[in-house]
Structure 1
Amino acid sequence: MVRVAGRTVVGLDFDGTLAPIVDDPNRAHIHADASEVLVDLAPHVAAIAVITGRPARQALDLGGLEEVGDAIASSGKELYLFGQYGNERWTSRERRIIAPRPPRGLATFERDLPRTLRLAGAADAFVEDKGLAVAVHTRRLPDPQDAFERLLPPLRSLAERHGLVVEPGRSVIEVRSPGAHKGMVVEKLATELDVQGFVFAGDDLGDLEAFEAVDGLGERGIAALRVCSASDEQSALLPLSDVVVKGPDGVLDLLRQLRADIEHTGH
């Protein structure tokens, strides 16, 4: 990876990878050290990409990513942000969010959602309208895991009736349009930037397709590194990972080490 650092993209999930998981998703601010680490690493790689299920505007604000993008741009490199699993795109060069219209069926899904929550005994679940998706959070409920397991089948059934798909996560069930996923973003960036290396760090089920895409790049001779930001809540990525670290602190330590190794070898 160090040998091809200049042609390598570093892809990062947001929640659980750059930002610690918190009860209120609107308070999930980026790790205090993340901005500095990303800005320091950027001159040594092809690009840095944040690939998240969050709306792009939300990630920009919680991560201070517009300022990070300015600092990265001053080194001649680019910060990419893909929101809502790749449905939204922002770059430090273009500085505007490109997004499609909300999917058909989302409005009627939201109309039927309160009744489904009541019938599942989870009327108090926090519902987050993400514009292109809806996320139902169980973290604030008395037994988050039990509520999650009760809600998943009826929400999946309701989503299917409205032509939508379910993306389970850490105490959250997201409902969105089918088609887009993080693996598609990995493939697009790899082609667009003609990469020789790709690092991706993630922590949850929504990152599975990205891990699979990075693995596919490796099979084609591209240097590939899959990093699991591990937690006690989710273990699905562990068997697919090349490196396992402990949460955002571990991810940032790994990125610091990557920069140090690149500087040491002169690549």
Structure 2
Amino acid sequence: MTSHRASLLAPLVADPGGTVLLFDFDGTLSPIVERPDDARPVEGAVDVLTALAGRYRTVGAVSGRPVAFLASQLPGPVVLSGLYGLESQVDGVARARVGTEPWRPVVADAVARAQAADIEGVLVEPKGFSVTLHFRARPKAAAAVTRLAAELADATGLVARPAKMSIELHPPVESDKGLAVRELAEGARGVLYAGDDLGDLPAFAALTDLRAEGVATVSVAVETPELPPEVRAVADLVVPGPAGVVELLRTLLP
């Protein structure tokens, strides 16, 4: 371990009972795949997360994925925050953020409209409280997807958010990864967050605020061919892909 990495992680390792470890899923715990349903945690991730959850105050996934999907892939002790904090699961109990439930039928209408648009090569992924329009399989469809997302937002009141090779439509309910991190880190003395996408920037901003408040924080960017420069610029550490995340996590164990 480099001296820089060791010095950053030392306060967290020394105080596991006061430390929160949080991670994005896609591109961080799982490699990026063409079809979202095919994503799985990289080898070693489940074992190390289980071990960490038995030692640290909180180990959690903060993702744009639905909680139901995260729960099917990650070990039970891991706290889950899905759909950018619109829903969560702690100790097996799932909850939706206040004000979110009335938007479920609106999202279903947006899903139907997006599917009816039938843009070639575009995958419409329903997520219950949100919907994602993926154009990874056909990058040339980006402009068409952007127009469709804007039309759907105007028609339904949902909010369009750009993501990796996709656009997401969310209810206009205050929620992002930064808010989710602040909630999960309440009262913590140390916080680590690892991510690889523009949607992770609010989480990194939350860590900057927590550091100003005296909390020991570590921001980890996960290197992939699609890592946005904005994410790299705010990271304390950059690790090589999901396998690098697992290697980093192992250094947090005795």
- TM-score, normalization by structure 1: 0.82
**1:218 counterpart = 2:215:** no
Partners of 2:132 and 2:201 in 1: CA distance? 18
Counterpart CA distance in 2 for 1:102 and 1:147 is 31
- 2:126 counterpart (118, 124, 129): 129
Identity of aligned residues (%): 35
- Runs of 4+ residues over 4 Å off in structure 1: none
> Any unmatched runs of 5+ in structure 1?
73-78
Match of 1:165 in 2: 159
What residue number does 2:54 align with?
A: 43
Matched, 1:243 2:237: yes
* CA contact 1:170–1:234 (8 Å) conserved in 2: no
Q: Is 1:29 aligned to 2:51, yes or no?
A: no
Q: How many Å separate the matches in 1 of 2:235 and 2:143?
A: 26
- Is 1:185 matched up with 2:180? yes
> Are the aligned partners of 1:55 and 1:83 in contact in 2 as well (CA < 8 Å)?
yes
Does residue 1:9 correspond to 2:20, yes or no? yes
Distance in 2, Cα, partners of 1:89 & 1:153:
31
- Structure 1 partner of 2:85: 86
- Distance of aligned partners of 1:129 and 1:47 in 2 relative to their CA distance in 1, 3 Å threshold: same
TM-score of the superposed pair, with normalisation by structure 2: 0.86
Equivalenced residue count is 237
SS at match of 1:36: helix
- CA contact 1:139–1:171 (8 Å) conserved in 2: yes
Deviation at 1:249, TM superposition (A): 0.6
Does 1:112 pair with 2:113? yes
Q: Counterpart amino acid of 1:183?
A: G
Unaligned runs of 5+ in 2: 1-10
**Cα distance, 1:251 vs structure 2:** 0.8
Residues 164 and 177, structure 1, Cα contact 8 Å, conserved in 2:
yes
Q: CA RMSD in A?
A: 1.9
CA contact (8 A) 2:107 2:128 kept: no
Q: Which amino acid aligns with 2:175?
A: A
Q: Paired residue for 2:64?
A: 53
Query: What residue identity is the alignment partner of 1:190?
Result: A
